[in-house]
Amino acid sequence: MVKLIEKTPCAGLLPRSIGLMTLAEDAYPAMTSIAPYQGQSRQVSAALKSTFGVGFPSPNRSLLSDRVRITWIGQGAAMICGEAPPTLTGAAVTDQSDAWAVVRLTGKGAEDVLARLVPVDLRRPQFRSNHTARTLLGHMHVSITRIDAKTFEIMAMRSMAQTLVHELSQAMENVAARG
């Protein structure tokens, strides 16, 4: 009988430090997408708030509690990262734990790295902490959330993990070479 070995999406690829920047995997124990049914948004948000201390995020925002990060991922949808949600009768709930690669880009120059790859202005005055955007990074669809002044969380489909790491590493090398 074959014994399978569980691996994270970026196993063997990360962490990487280039210049003053670090790219590391952010492996959440659970990731769950939620999409409230029509007319159920308030009920779902209240259930999330009573369980986690934060409700359903506004568009282009991410909310953080001591247990989870809930990130807007598209019209009427969010991703709960950290713990599985309570039973939500007013929403479509899907376990996404094995479907996403999540990385953190940290350090001086992180904005410059993303400016080379993303068609969205992620500079601090426009894109503050807990702002999030669904966009392209190269040719991949990603979700990018600013964690703090020098840190971004980037989520891409698991099948794109190697490409995500390659694209970010190449841009990190190019930015580091400037300095």
Interval 20-66: pLDDT, tens: 999 999 989 999 999 999 999 999 999 999 999 999 999 999 999 99
pTM of this prediction? 0.94
Q: What is the pLDDT of residue 1?
A: 84
Beta bridge partners of 72: 78
| Domain spans of the chain, in order of start | 16-27+98-178, 31-95
Nearest to 138 by CA among 155, 158, 117: 117
CA distance 91 to 169: 38
- Stated as kind and residue range, the H or E segment containing 50 is helix 41-52
Interval 108-140: pLDDT, tens: 999 999 999 999 999 999 999 999 999 999 999
Specify the CATH class of 16-27+98-178 in words: alpha beta
Q: Is the pLDDT of residue 179 over 90?
A: no
